Structure 1
Amino acid sequence: MTTIKDVAKLAGVSTATVSRVMNGTGYVNPSTKKKVNSAIKQLDYRPNDVARSLFKGKSKMIALFVPDIMNPFFPELARAVEDVTNHHGYTFILCNTDDEIEKEQTYLNALQQKSVDGIIIVSSTITKELISKIKIPIIALDRIIGANMSSVTVNNREGAREAVRYLKSIGCQRIAHICGPDHVINTAERMKGYLDEVKDEDWFLSSYIVSGEYYFQTATQAMKKLLTVHPEIDGIFVGNDLMGVGVLKGAKELGIRVPDELSVIAFDGIMLGETTTPSLTTMAQPIYEIGARAAEMLLEQINDSKYQSKREEFTVQLIERQSTRKRGESIDR
């Protein structure tokens, strides 16, 4: 294996000079720098990253924790984080946690041992106590974890309200909600938005709310049970797009025509929603933008010892597709 001594010998300089050239520290004569770079290229020298991280106290590695890599929302988010961190010379590590505190703890321990420079975390299970023990920069993404931790989120409650108002505007008179798991923060915010718009309606029933746990198959079954018990429902606000696709599948299995008999709107704006038949109306998050912003904030925190925590909230946007009736169309029951 080629070492820094081999590079120094070929270039006719000291190992300290090679180190200064590679790290961009201190002055090196241009002709000497050229010799060193030529030797590095000729020998195909690659520095030992572990040794460099121990010396510098930095690894140039960034980690992203996501709760479910099978949900297309998170790979789309990860792409943005990877693009930004790679652009700044960082290696990107993706950790799937299944929202299990034990897996989060294991990853955190391993990453700290490897001197990871910072972490972006999507979690509804990690505790404030555990976070307080972590001595490296952390940004919360998609969900707020603690009052003193920087975060990037969207206006979940207001976005949910807009979704329900939209269903009302196209003539829906019995609107249900398929929500995510109870322990997830944005589940609660989106449910609050739904309730803001329906709790005072004389037709509202608490049994119009069922959980799909943020999973496709669970949402399919929940939708089928819901519409079997309450066939009068003519609109559904679904807590995320993956469940929204499950709702479309459930409607097809029940022989319910979407959007003629049932209008469906979901939340997220993942590309999967464009590929379904009918395509899925959604409250779209600016997925790439929030992932990129979280990465930028983490890099700011890594490079600024006086960094002050901040919260940034993005706005979701209604995207009308085929799963909801056009305004003014009559209900065909």
Structure 2
Amino acid sequence: MKTIRDVARCAGVSPATVSRVLNDKGYVSEEKKKKIEKVITEMGFEPNQVARGLAKKTSNTLALIVSDITNPFFPELAKGAEQVALSNGYTLMLGNTKGADNKPNDYTKILMNKYIDGIIIATHDIDSQLLKKYSNMPMAILEMENDVENACTIKVENVHGSVLATEHLISQGCKKIAHIYGPLYDQTSKERLQGYQKVISMHSDYEEVTIQSDFTIDGGINAVDQLLHKYPDIDGLFVGNDLMAVGVIKELNRLSIRVPDEIAVCGFDGIYLTRIVNPEITTIEQPIYKMGEIAAEKLIDRINNPHLNRECIVLDVKLRVRQSSKKSKQNTIF
């Protein structure tokens, strides 16, 4: 491998001069600069990025921390973030808090103490006060209330999406609609529950029926069994995320309950699994890939401009109607 010393020897200059040209730092005459650049091109020299990062205390690396990489929501998010990172000369490192040997907060502290240029937080397993403590680190935070002064927070219209879902089930003739919500330490769970409650409270002939579970397929399966045991007359289910909705459909099929004829189902997220189960699941679609892109773009903005103020971006959602709530085979977006 060619080194800076090899370039310096061929160009007739010192290694320090080559370093100044490579890092665009310090004065080098135009004549020497052109000569060095010519030698670099002819030799096919490529700087050692790790060594450059250590010298600058930077690594051209972004970290993305998610809660559970087995949820198809997060790979789609990561794809969007990675595309922006690569196009701007950064690599993306992925961290997963669910199942980590250490506590999520310990895991995050380890990441932030390394040479990471910026971090995207896409998990609710981390204490928001810890993020505030590390506010000198450029951050983009997804769907979490926080007091980090210089962070960019990216959210979607969770309440509005839940209103769309509940109103859709009502429009399909459902008379008793239950909502399966996720852990209430999760901001998205709280907001989606609020949207459901808002609609139900506006209809005096509807009863609020809710049950808490977790954002997993098994969580959906278990919640269905509990709900049907207590409320066998349920004919509509708004499920707090698509993974749970997949579990709901799986269990209803096992019980030979026809979807949507006996129970109509709507999820929330827009993950690809909603298109490959039978029946296909009606869902509130988030712009998942776009969220990843925006998170990386805003993070890089903050790396390049450390004094940017706090910012919050709210993205819209769409109701995509599929077979689980409507007999028509044609998919529609509202």
Deviation of 1:202 (Å): 4.6
Q: Does 1:168 align with 2:167?
A: no
2:204 paired with 1:196? no
Aligned residue type for 1:55: A
- In structure 2, what is the Cα distance between the partners aligned to 1:142 and 1:11? 53
CA contact (8 A) 2:64 2:119 kept: yes
The CA deviation at 1:287 is 0.6
CA deviations over 1:211-248 (Å, ceiling 9, x no partner): 23001012112112212331211110000111111110
Q: Give 2:37's aligned residue.
A: 33
What is the Cα deviation at residue 200 of structure 1?
5.1
Per-residue CA deviations over 1:271-301 (Å, capped at 9, x if unaligned) read 1111111111100001111111111111111
Question: 1:184: which partner in 2?
Answer: 186
Q: Secondary structure at the match of 2:126?
A: coil
Deviations 1:171-221 (A, max 9, x none): 111100111112111100000000001135455555x21123001012112
Q: Which moved more, 1:124-133 or 1:136-145?
A: 124-133
Quote the Cα distance in structure 1 between the aligned partners of 2:171 and 2:242.
21
Which range moved further: 150-159 or 5-14?
Answer: 5-14
Distance, in Å, in 2 between the alignment partners of 1:33 and 1:147 is 43
The Cα RMSD (Å) is: 2.2
For residue 231 of structure 1, what is the aligned residue in structure 2? 232
Alpha-carbon distance in structure 2 between the residues aligned to 1:226 and 1:92: 42
Q: What letter is aligned with 2:221?
A: T
Match of 1:214 in 2: 215
Per-residue Cα deviation, 1:51-91 (whole angstroms, up to 9, x for no partner): 32232232111001101111100111111111111110111
Shift of residue 113 of structure 1?
3.3
How many Å apart are 1:11 and its aligned residue? Answer: 4.4
Structure 1 distance, partners of 2:112, 2:125, is 19
1:94 aligns with 94
Q: CA deviation at 1:104?
A: 3.2
| Distance (whole Å) between structure 2 residues aligned to residue 99 and residue 141 of structure 1 | 20
Contact 1:100/1:125 (8 A) holds in 2: no
> Which consecutive residues of structure 2, in runs of 5 or more, have no partner in the other structure?
329-334
Q: Is the 8 A contact 2:245 2:267 kept in 1?
A: yes
Question: How far did residue 101 of structure 1 move?
Answer: 11
- 1-side partners of 2:42 and 2:113: how far apart? 34
* Aligned residue number for residue 60 of structure 1: 60
Give the Cα–Cα distance (whole angstroms) in 2 for the partners of residues 112 and 7 of structure 1. 35
The answer to whether residue 125 in structure 2 is matched with residue 125 in structure 1 is: yes
Percent of residue pairs identical: 39
- Change in CA separation of 1:85 and 1:279 when aligned onto 2, cut-off 3 Å: same
Normalising by structure 1, we get a TM-score of: 0.89
Counterpart residue number, 2:281: 280
Report SS of the residue matched to 2:274.
helix
1:8 aligns with 2:35: no
How many Å separate the matches in 2 of 1:252 and 1:6?
A: 69
**Alignment check: 8 A CA contact 2:238 2:265 kept:** yes
Deviations 1:122-160 (A, max 9, x none): 232323331222121111113333363420010101110
Q: Which amino acid aligns with 2:313?
A: E
C-alpha separation in 2, matches of 1:197 and 1:275: 30
Q: CA deviation at 1:99?
A: 8.7
- The one-letter amino acid paired with 1:195 is Q
Q: Which amino acid aligns with 1:257?
A: R
Q: Distance in 1 between matches of 2:325 and 2:131?
A: 42
Which position in structure 2 is the counterpart of 1:330?
none
Q: SS where residue 252 of structure 1 aligns?
A: helix
- The residue number in structure 2 matching 1:154 is 156
Secondary structure at the aligned position of 2:42 is classed as helix
**SS class of match (2:75):** helix
Count of residue correspondences: 322
Q: Give the CA deviation at 1:10.
A: 4.1
In structure 2, what is the Cα distance between the partners aligned to 1:126 and 1:32?
48
SS of residue matched to 2:141: strand
Equivalent AA in structure 1 for residue 63 of structure 2? A
By how many angstroms is 1:12 displaced?
Answer: 3.9
Mapped partners of 1:169, 1:29: distance in 2: 70
Return the alpha-carbon distance in structure 2 between the equivalents of residues 174 and 241 of structure 1: 20
1:22 maps onto 2:22 in alignment: yes
